[in-house]
Amino acid sequence: MTTDPRARFPRSARVRSRVQYARVFEGGRRHGDALLGLHWLPAATPPRFGLAVSRKVDPRAVGRNRIKRVLRENVRHLRPQLAGGDYVIVARPAAARAGHAELAASLRRLLRKLGALPAPPPGGTMPAPPTSVSPSDPKPDPRTG
């Protein structure tokens, strides 16, 4: 299985040191919901992500790792669309009971609230059906119409 190179999560795309985390927590914009907290420090650099999932969220390592795995997977796919800067995602205790889709939706919603992810196109993007009948279309049945 080949991976799309734009969907990778290399070391250069991660917030890694304590100093980097502290900078984002102190100077970044923040938003949150019941599942996640999101801190964003905008910059002219490519987006970098850090994850914080403490034992208060789930005392079991397998639960904390599941949350991180789901978030990393979503970040991989969203990264090419995101504004630059450093992001730190903080899981909250309700995240331990949330499913994959709920975590992904929460992350997208928070990124949009902060203005880091463009809004989806408005509904109704399909073209309108043609109003004229083409010669190749069958003739309407006079009994039904």
- CATH number, domain of 43, equals 3.30.230.10
User: Quick check: is 134 in a domain?
Assistant: no
User: Quick check: is 145 in a domain?
Assistant: no
Q: Which domain holds residue 94?
A: 6-114
The predicted-structure confidence for 56-71, as pLDDT tens digits, reads as follows 999 999 999 999 999 9
29 - beta bridge partners?
Answer: 40
Chain centroid to CA 6: 15
User: Quick check: is 56 in a domain?
Assistant: yes
Q: Does the predicted model carry a pTM greater than 0.85? A: no
Number of domains in the chain: 1
The predicted-structure confidence for 16-61, as pLDDT tens digits, reads as follows 999 999 999 999 999 999 999 999 999 999 999 999 999 999 999 9
